[in-house]
């Protein structure tokens, strides 16, 4: 009996050391960037590297928060014609299935038509894809010259580091 207990203790000690090394390795490799995941199925949908600030003149509230390994991420509260509020972040690139034809009416971003952006894995509504209805102009600054961008609903995505924190071994169990 004591022999079995000793083997389990040694095995758990070896597991903790390997696990700690993997945890430290992943933190140094991502350089402060984080992958955004679909909250419903966990599929990769965007990289925080591509987050940028594209302000809507229809924003009810604008705030900056440290999210997804980045500082001062712009979060906008927008309200659709039915009175439903959405907190969104904007990103230059995202993996999503665009559903339906482009709609110019009721766009939160003038000069952009929108389509629903859904998770390519499970179909969850992630936000909207906005496509410019104007021709490209090279004289304006980069954030205003984006032809296509995505407005992701903050409550429908989560960061991979958050999910990692849910499944990591608590420090009290580490030896």
Half-sphere exposure of 55 (CA within 13 A, CB side): 6
Could you tell me which residue, 68 or 164, shows the higher pLDDT? 68
CATH number at 56 reads: 2.170.150.20
pLDDT at res. 167: 54
Q: Are residues 13 and 45 in the same domain?
A: no
pTM of whole model > 0.85? no
Q: Provide mean pLDDT across the span 105-132.
A: 96
Burial track 121-149 (b if 16+ CB lie within 10 A, e otherwise)? eeebebbbbbbbeeeeeeeeeeeeebeeb
pLDDT over 70 at 163, yes or no:
no
- Is residue 166 classed as helix, strand or coil in its secondary structure? helix
Closest to 92 (Cα-Cα) out of 38, 121, 131: 131
Share above pLDDT 70 across residues of the chain, in percent, rounded to a whole number:
68
Could you tell me which residue, 96 or 134, shows the higher pLDDT? 96
Total of domains in the chain: 2
Q: Are residues 8 and 87 in the same domain?
A: no
- Is residue 163 classed as helix, strand or coil in its secondary structure? helix
Terminal alpha carbon distance of the chain: 22
pLDDT over 60 at 5, yes or no:
no
Q: Provide mean pLDDT across the span 44-50.
A: 94
Share above pLDDT 90 across residues of the chain, in percent, rounded to a whole number:
61
What are the beta bridge partners of residue 98?
117
Those residues with Cβ within 8 angstroms of residue 42's Cβ, 6 or more apart along the chain or in another chain = 163
Q: Are residues 145 and 121 in the same domain?
A: yes
pLDDT at res. 39: 93
What are the beta bridge partners of residue 68?
none
Q: Are residues 117 and 167 in the same domain?
A: no
Q: Are residues 40 and 114 in the same domain?
A: yes
Q: Are residues 13 and 82 in the same domain?
A: no
pLDDT over 70 at 136, yes or no:
no
Q: Are residues 61 and 143 in the same domain?
A: yes
pLDDT over 60 at 6, yes or no:
no
Where residue 45 falls among pLDDT bands split at 50, 70, 90? very high
Q: Are residues 19 and 85 in the same domain?
A: no
Per the structure, the complete domain to which residue 25 belongs is given by 2-32+162-173
Q: Cα–Cα distance between 112 and 102 in angstroms, integer? A: 9
Q: Are residues 130 and 100 in the same domain?
A: yes
Tokens of 153: 């609903």
- Is residue 122 classed as helix, strand or coil in its secondary structure? coil
Q: Are residues 128 and 42 in the same domain?
A: yes
Q: Are residues 43 and 15 in the same domain?
A: no
DSSP 170: P
Q: Are residues 28 and 39 in the same domain?
A: no
Could you tell me which residue, 143 or 89, shows the higher pLDDT? 89
The CA distances from residue 106 to 63, 77, 78, in Å, are 23, 15, 11
């Amino acid at each position: 009996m004591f022999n079995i207990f000793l083997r389990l203790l040694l095995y758990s000690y070896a597991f903790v050391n390997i696990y700690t090394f993997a945890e430290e390795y992943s933190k140094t490799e991502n350089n402060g960037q984080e992958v955004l995941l679909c909250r419903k199925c966990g599929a990769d949908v965007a990289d925080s590297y591509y987050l940028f600030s594209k302000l809507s003149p229809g924003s009810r509230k604008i705030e900056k928060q440290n999210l997804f390994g980045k500082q001062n991420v712009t979060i906008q509260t927008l309200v659709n014609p039915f009175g439903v509020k959405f907190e969104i972040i904007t990103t230059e690139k995202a993996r999503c299935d665009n559903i339906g034809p482009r709609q110019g009416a009721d766009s939160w971003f003038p000069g952009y038509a929108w389509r629903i952006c859904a998770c390519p894995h499970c179909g969850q509504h992630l936000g909207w894809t906005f496509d410019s209805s104007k021709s490209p102009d090279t004289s304006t600054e980069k954030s205003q010259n984006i032809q296509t961008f995505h407005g992701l609903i903050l409550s429908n995505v989560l960061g991979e580091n958050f999910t990692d924190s849910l499944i990591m071994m608590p420090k009290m169990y580490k030896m």
